[in-house]
Structure 1
């Protein structure tokens, strides 16, 4: 099932041999009690229920247990029950998720700040915020931290919708090996996708921990022309040279080779929604990424952290030139991109205990991005090759921020004013014509967060932040004096525990976009004309009935109202912003068994700014229908030969509901979502 992965597997087993006794599963007393240091100077802190309960904004953490219990294999599965979050998967295999938050556009996740262990995974976090390569596999993830409010001062750029931080598996204190296999079977087409995972790691001694993870995905989704190959190798190091210093290093190599089934016309969709009519569409990408983080803790409570990261990435889409999914193409186009990005961010926090207790956090960051941007084409009849674009982009980005938390009423009331400074210098060169263009962005972004623990059962919060999305590389190719898109973010809410086993979360939000960049024409290019408004509420209710030990019930409802407030479509709703989202989660644990049922409802939405109701012939525009999707999984834990075994059987889209969204980029039409899929999972820990 794993093709071309011999070298990677050999490296994994070399590490097993290299670390004495790593696979023996024996506890070392010195490492069994070792506790990992937590960066409290980081604004979000650890993704734990305790931290979330006092965060001055809407925030959800998807825990390791929830990921396992629900059988989440993709980002779409994992985020399905997070209020206000919408995910489209254009590949059908999970490699290209599109994430939207609070009605912001989900396409290419271009309006969400996505991090892995606090480091941006976007190919160019300032100049090209779209995630056209998503170098992440869920088996390597321990938890997901989704902070939708109260973060813009400390995290940026592109922070209008908040932050999604994927937290990878920590190095275990006990020397451990994990083997996991997930088979996704599509009954209607007999296609199978294999998701193979191996992890080996632990502490060699009191001070040094090592870990290596390998994730290999091969096979097909339910649709034709969906062959997928993914290799994800991650190496981690934790070193504690002293009792108050820790150093964390990580290195990742990610590669993907995929056929893309693409969108369908309404007619083709009705004939067979699992077919593909775009034989030329495919995608390749690879990235080598590394990070090194130094943390130091002082006796007076002060903390210093210095994060350094870099990546070199390539990605390329191949596609036919026919816009209608049923038409034959005469050209095979491709869009190769090469990215080189590196950054450095020191951060320091300390307390002032004279008079009013305060905690001051100061941070700064420098980031450099270099991008080669090419568009070319090959004539399928003559094999003639041509280059339509050969562009070079670069930027220098500087950010600095400071916040001051005031602790009042025995630390029950916390007020945190702060401000962020962003300076971005974009440069463009057309290698074909020699034309050059530049664009500077300088912004002050103030914010204030308030959290008040009125009683043990009631926590109130509110915040205001100014956010920005920088001018994008391709937007400066037309010239003109564009400015960054800015937004004012308002949020207020509460967390309430009226009973020990009942929890209520409520948040109201409003996002007022100003200065949105809109495309005017080929002659004019982009100009800052756009205004838009997003507002709504997010609610969540949790209940663990005392009468049924082990039962966990949860439901959430999100209402979103959007409006375009300028331009040609003033007064219309924004595209891909569904009014209603309903989540449901039921989990029952009994002895070594676990039963899980989760569901998602999304109401209808528009696919374009004109709010077109009647679908056109190609299916590129028109309303996107509402849908329900239900997933279920049963998991059993047992021991065999003194080894822990976890076996699971799941059904995704158990009622085989047919639903779709509209295509992304070059693939226009109905993009079918996966039908009923069976999941078989087996994991061994030893």
Structure 2
């Protein structure tokens, strides 16, 4: 067998070619003297990697729906995980912990009605490095290796990103940006504590940061964030997460920089599991899954060289990730074994190596400029996936962890992927037009280590896109874009290609506007996504465990909106008072089959947020509301003609009622005389609204939402 990570000659050649391009003089970027210098576009500078240094100015210039949430917002929302922050973003829907993603180690986020279970249909990055254990073969975030305390911003691009980033980008790109290395010495520490009204359980989030840069341009930072304690279920919801990062940078010259990062994540959490309808009615906070848990570890290293001047940007990013994720889940028997269980385990190891050179060149003219960007990525990943299980036993009569658990499934897999893109950002008059093309060359395989059977699949996919922006003014932009997104078959799906599964392909369209002026800011976007043949996990809805099925064509369409206002722009006496609101309408439906014309599962047609902030002197008051309409869990259209709305006995199927929550926070800043001590107290779910979600996978049932929760925050900075 060939080494898992032999770098191909093509990858090395491409990287060298990009390096040579970056070294060339930029004569083409220097136009002849203009007759009227004021008419030239000399003020234009090259953008390059538009995910870097994201801010509101970049959002305003982006030709698609995009939202950035910063660290101050995390803190004033009282959030202790990224789920609570992502709910504030239009078009993004986040499921409560449930099913086999039922712990704080996992992340369940969906965009525009796409499935949220383990976040499989968005390209999710941290500092530009994929978070998935295997971006092509296993994109699910059953382990999401990050903690909120280490983040500076969350950047969500819901459209116009499919050319530069992939795969699995039909749900856009989510980039978690870690705290940067400061220019001067900074040290701070903070802790927040959630205290749940039900059972008095406590969950703590400690955070620490130290870093700085010397006069020679050598900088470094050490980041730590964690989650420790118990959740609001009565048992088996203890969590221990530690997230550590070491970052370094060296400024070689005014235009050249070398940076590196080492990241280590380790998490273990119990999964209290789903409840049947009867169990939920008796006590929604109980757990009948004492042995279910999830654990994961990840080490990754990244190295980046970047060159940046007014006319060109060049960077080479390379990274290596080593991930382990494992789970123990009690599986319910069926038929004559309906009252029995067996304990299953699923240890899985993954390795990924990639190199990504990017080059952008700006060509200026008197009335037009072009920024031509080319990029390439070579990525190779390898997987080793096993599954074991005990014999069936009667629950409560034996400790199943003492039973023999032979391996019944063992597979190895791998992917070699080459992706290349080119786009041209053309600025002419009040227009910005960006045509682009990405081409994916993917080769994947899965081998059954018991039988020796091997399945090979390959995909060569052109993914064109076009984005257009009209600059009404410096503060108001109109945009439209169209593109094609692609989702290759994953390792589990490759193993069952005899069932006729095919890769996913979708066409996406957006029309909208950004604006930011006179205290007002916001966006309005209409979107449409057409899938040729969407895939869905059948799970506990009638198919075998981990079985996938083709849904056929589906459509996702709707409108996203956000509005914010700073009342200080109206009158100086109102300085410090601001408000925001968001609303999203989504309609995601089956287009064919038994459920044609009906809603897809686990998304809400209506989602809204509203909030107010008032800061005066050293005090800050925040009031935030969130609401979503009902969701569906109708069953499996490949095995049933009944679109189920009534609740099933096992709690997995049936409608999920909508709900609304209110949160409040009051904070005080003691200032520099007290080492910048900040303290705050708050309440989440002020009215203790009882709500729930469902799961239809191997840990099916009903899952109660977070009850009224009190929290305390404190931080010091030096």
| TM-score, L = length of structure 2 | 0.86
Out of 394, 418, 428, the residue aligned to residue 408 of structure 1 is 428
2:579 to 553, 566, 570: 553
Partner of 1:365: 377
State which drifts further: 380-389 or 591-600.
380-389
Aligned to 2:79: 72
Q: Which of 309, 330, 337 lines up with 2:319 in the alignment? A: 309
| C-alpha separation in 2, matches of 1:137 and 1:149 | 25
Alignment of 1:580 onto 2:596: no
Deviates most, 352-361 or 585-594: 352-361
Write out aligned runs for 1:101-500 (5 A).
101-223=111-233, 224-298=235-309, 301-322=311-332, 329-354=340-365, 356-379=368-391, 383-409=403-429, 412-480=430-498, 482-496=501-515, 500=518
1:564 aligns with 2:590: yes
Q: What displacement does 1:295 show?
A: 0.3
Superposed displacement of residue 467, structure 1: 0.3
Aligned to 1:7: none
1:167/1:597 Cα in 2 relative to 1: closer, same or farther (>3 Å)?
same
Aligned-pair Cα RMSD in Å:
2.2
* Structure-to-structure mapping, 1:650-661, within 5 angstroms: 650-661=682-693
2:34 corresponding residue in structure 1: none
Distance 1:527 1:221, change over 3 A: closer
Q: 1:190 to 1:438 in 2, by over 3 A?
A: same
Q: Is the 8 A contact 2:107 2:142 kept in 1?
A: no
Per-residue deviation, 1:55: 0.6
Secondary structure of 2:50's aligned partner:
coil
Local SS of the residue matching 1:475: helix
Distance 2:421 2:549 in 1: 29
Inter-CA distance 526–539: structure 2 relative to 1 (3 Å threshold) = closer
CA distance in 2, matches of 1:651, 1:421: 49
In structure 1, the residue matched to 2:653 is 621
1:641 to partner: Cα distance: 5.1
1:373 Cα deviation after fit: 1.0
Displacement after TM superposition at 1:135 (Å): 0.5
Q: Shift of residue 482 of structure 1?
A: 4.8
**SS at 2:57 equivalent:** helix
SS at structure 1 position matched to 2:278: helix
CA apart distance, 1:277: 0.9
Asked whether the 8 Å contact 1:107–1:664 carries over to 2, the reply is no
Gapped regions of structure 1 (runs ≥ 5): 1-37
Q: Decide whether aligned partners of structure 1 residues 323 and 46 sit closer, same or farther in structure 2, where only a CA change above 3 A counts.
A: farther
Shift of 1:205: 3.3
Task: Decide whether aligned partners of structure 1 residues 105 and 436 sit closer, same or farther in structure 2, where only a CA change above 3 A counts.
Answer: same
2:248 and 2:158 map into 1 onto residues whose CA distance is 30
Task: Render the CA deviation track for 1:120-152: whole Å, top value 9, x for unaligned.
Answer: 101111111111101110000111111111111
Secondary structure in structure 1 of the residue aligned to 2:620: strand
The equivalent residue for 1:4 is none
Say if 1:454 and 1:349 are closer, same or farther in 2 by CA, change over 3 A: same
CA deviations 1:274-310 (Å, max 9, x no partner) are 1111111111111111111110124x61110111111
Q: 1:316 to 1:599 in 2, by over 3 A?
A: same
Shift of residue 327, structure 1, vs aligned partner? 7.8
Offset of residue 598 of structure 1:
1.2
2:264 alignment partner, SS class: strand
Distance 1:313 1:319, change over 3 A: same
Return the alpha-carbon distance in structure 1 between the equivalents of residues 656 and 175 of structure 2: 29
The Cα shift of 1:570 comes to 2.0
Deviation at 1:79, TM superposition (A): 1.2
Distance 2:249 2:509 in 1: 39
Q: Counterparts of 2:664 and 2:407 in 1: how far apart (Å)?
A: 49
Question: What whole-Å deviation, never above 9, does each CA across 1:614-668 have from its counterpart, x for those lacking one?
Answer: 0100101111110111222111111365511111111111111111111263211
More strand by percentage: 1
Between 559-568 and 333-342, the greater mean CA deviation after superposition: 559-568
Taking the aligned partners of 1:193 and 1:354, their CA distance within structure 2 comes to 58
Q: What secondary structure sits across from 1:53 in the alignment? A: helix
Q: Closer, same or farther in 2 for the Cα pair 1:522/1:215, shift >3 Å? A: closer
Matched, 1:635 2:642: no
SS at match of 2:347: strand
Q: Which moved more, 1:562-571 or 1:304-313?
A: 562-571
Give, in whole Å, the separation in 2 of the partners of 1:153 and 1:159. 9
1:242 is paired with a residue of what secondary structure? coil
Query: Separation in 2 of the partners of 1:297 and 1:518?
Result: 44
In 1: Cα distance, 2:598 partner to 2:530 partner: 15
Does the CA contact (< 8 Å) of 1:304 and 1:348 recur in 2? yes
> Displacement of 1:247 after TM fit?
1.3
- Taking a change above 3 Å as real, the CA distance of residues 456 and 210 of structure 1, as seen in their structure-2 partners, is closer
Distance in 2, matches of 1:177 and 1:680, equals: 21
CA separation of 1:580 and 1:429: change in aligned 2, threshold 3 A: same
Residue in 1 aligned with 2:525?
Answer: 507
Determine the C-alpha separation between the residues in 2 that align with 1:360 and 1:308: 22
Structure 2, gaps ≥5 residues long: 1-44, 638-642
How many residues are matched? Answer: 643
Deviation readout 1:62-110 (Å, 9 max, x if unpaired): 0122112212211121112110111123167643220010100000001
Distance 1:280 1:53, change over 3 A: same
Match of 2:19 in 1: none
Alignment equivalent of 1:97, drawn from 65, 90, 107: 107
In structure 1, distance between residues paired with 2:156 and 2:420: 23
